[in-house]
Amino acid sequence: MSISKRVSLVSSSPTLKISAKAKQMKQKGIDVVSFGAGEPDFDTPAHIKESAKKALDEGFTKYTPASGIKELKEAICKKFREDNNLIFSPEEILVSCGAKHSIFNAIFALCDEGDEVVLPSPYWVSFPEMIKVAGGKPVILKTTQEDSFRIKPEQLQKAITPRTKLFILNSPCNPTGMVYTKDELQLLSNVLIASNVYCISDEIYEKIIYDGEEHVSIASLGERIKELTVVVNGVSKSYSMTGWRIGYAGGPEEIISAMSNLQSHSTSNPVSFAQTAALEALSGPQDQVMEMVDEFRRRRDYIIDRLNETPGISCLKPKGAFYAFANVSEILKKGALKDSVSLAEKLLAEANVAVVPGSAFGDDRYIRLSYATSLENIKEGMERIKGFIEKVL
C-alpha cells in the first residue's frame, strides 16, 4: 500500500483511541463515566428540527448553490452585524459542512507549501493536522497557566518570520476555556497588521461564555484587520447541532470565493434541509441557548471546585466553552504514570472514567474533561477520579 505523503503526515488522534476504548467498554456493559464529549449533550431545539422536517416535506432535497443558500447567507450577515459588529455582504460568506470544513477551506485557500502558520497551544486537535496536510508548517506558541493560556503580543511578534502566512486564534478556546479581552485582541491585531499576517478566528464557542465575559471578534477591531481575517463560526455548539454539519465563514471576498471554489469541487453544498435548520437556528428564538449556557455554568462551577479539591490537580476556571483543562503535573511527577496518555488509559481501565490526554492538545501536563454531561455523571466521575488519585499518589 502506498498512501500519499501528504495524508501520511496526518496523525490519528489519541483522543479517538481512548474514546474508542471507552465505547467498547460501554458496549460490554461496563458503566463508564465519560468526560470525553466534544459536543453539547442537549437535543437540538424542537423548532429547529421542525423547520428541517418541513423543508423535507416541501421537497427541499436537491443541490443548492455550492456555497450555501442566499437566505442563510443573509441571516449570517445579520448575525455578524448584530452580534459582532461586522458588516459582510452575502458574497463575503461561505456556508460549509461544519465550522471544521470552513477552517479546512480557509487554511487551503491561504497556505502554500512551506508557509508558516502560528498556532498557540494548547490548541484544538485538528489545527496542526489541517496545517500539515495543506503543506504548511505549524509554529507552535506555548502558553502557560500563569498567563491564563493567552499569548502575549511580544510572543506573537517573535514567532513571525518572512515565511509566516497565517495566525490561528480560537477564543473562547477549546481546550482551555480562556477568552481574550478586546484590549488583548487589539494588541495582537496590531502585530498581525504590521507584518501582513492573515488570521483565522475560530469563534465557534462565542455564545458559550460565562460571568459577563464579552466575546469580541478580532475582525471587528478595524478595517485593516478585517481585510486579513476569516471569521469562522457555526451552529454546532451554540444550538446543539453537531450532527447537522453547518458552519460558516465571513471574510474578504477574494478569500471566500477561493474557499467556495475549493468547496464546490469537494463536498458541493452543505445538506439542503440542514441549511434550512441553520437558518431557523440563527433567526428563530434564542432562549434555549441561554438555558443551555446556564446549565453549563452550574456544571462548570461544580466540576472546577471538585477538581481543585482533588490532591495533585489544579484547574483554572474556564470563561467559555464546556471543558476543564486540568493540570495533573503533580501526579505525573510522582513517577508511576509517565504521561497524560498513560494517566488517561489507567483512569479508564481502573476507574472507568474517560478523559482526553492533554498531549492531544499540545500539552502533556494536562487532561481535558468535558462537562457537557449531566451533573449526576460529573459527581460520580469526580468521586471515581478522587479515589483513583488517592491510590496513585
Ligand X SMILES: *Cc1c(COP(=O)(O)O)cnc(C)c1O
Residues at the contact surface with ligand X, assessed by CB under 6 A: 38, 98-100, 124, 170, 174, 202, 204, 234, 236-237, 242, 247
Q: Which is nearer to ligand X, 100 or 226 (CB)?
A: 100
- Strands (E) in the chain, as ranges, are 33-34, 93-96, 116-121, 137-142, 164-170, 198-202, 229-234, 247-250, 314-315, 323-327, 353-354, 356-357, 366-370
Residue, CB closest to ligand X: 98
Q: Are 168 and 197 in contact (CB under 8 A)?
A: no
For ligand X, the closer CB: 203 or 295: 203
Query: What gap in Å lies between CA 125 and CA 136, rounded to an integer?
Result: 16
Q: How far apart are CA 354 and CA 122, in angstroms?
A: 20
Shortest CB 360 distance to ligand X, Å: 12
Min dist CB 120 to ligand X, Å, is 12
Closest to ligand X by CB, 246 or 389 = 246
Shorter beta-carbon distance to ligand X: residue 232 or 382: 232
Contacts of 171 (CB under 8 A, 6+ apart): 178, 179, 180, 185, 201, 203, 215, 320
Q: What are phi and psi of 371, to 5 degrees?
A: -100, 25
Of 22 and 95, the one with the shorter C-beta distance to ligand X is: 95
CB of 119 to ligand X, least distance (A): 12
To the nearest whole angstrom, how small is the minimum distance from the Cβ of residue 37 to ligand X?
11
For residue 26, report the phi and psi dihedrals to the nearest 5 degrees: -60, -40
Rounded to the nearest whole angstrom, what is the least distance from the CB of residue 350 to ligand X in the complex? Answer: 29
Q: Whose Cβ is closer to ligand X: residue 96's or residue 310's?
A: 96
CB of 124 to ligand X, least distance (A): 4
Grid coordinates belonging to 46: 424542537
To 5 degrees, how large is the angle CA 346–CA 352–CA 353? 80
